[in-house]
Amino acid sequence: MAIYSLGVLTTGTTSGAAAWEIRTASTDRIYILELGFFMNAATASTYGFGRPAAIGVTPTSPVTLIAEDPAAPAGTAQSALAWGTGPTAPTAFHRRVNTPATIGTGIIWTFPRAFIVPVSSSVVLWNLATNGAVNAYVVEDD
């Protein structure tokens, strides 16, 4: 198994919409070990992490997660920040957090036994309020 990661700067700040989606391929599931994000602006924000009711459609400029070992095979999981049709809201959230209006404030969520994302599905960092942009990252095992 190989470790993959990716850091992004989110752009979607609209309430009730995905800020970031981590998507699996039709061939592989992933095991998220850690997900973190930190405020890029002084904006009080509320975020949730969960499985969307429906995966986003036609992501624009998806980025494949990067292997931390250069000898590992290319990753298959991708990250999306914008879509033709965005993912829908999770029915329930696995994690939620409020952040104060302080640049650099953030959170690191760890999943000691891994958070499993099945094939052809995704998880989202969801804007529960009109939020600021964040520097976010994910670490996963494939």
Q: Closest Cα to residue 22, out of 74, 57, 54, 63?
A: 63
Q: What is the pLDDT of residue 56?
A: 96
Classify residue 95 by burial, with Cβ atoms within 10 Å: 0-12, 13-18, 19+.
Answer: middle
Q: What is the pLDDT of residue 75?
A: 94
Helix (H) or strand (E) holding 57: strand 57-59
Q: What is the pLDDT of residue 1?
A: 73
Q: What is the pLDDT of residue 130?
A: 86
Q: Closest Cα to residue 63, out of 75, 48, 54, 51?
A: 75
Q: What is the pLDDT of residue 129?
A: 93
Q: What is the pLDDT of residue 41?
A: 93
- List, for the chain, all residue ranges whose pLDDT scores fall below the cut of 50: none
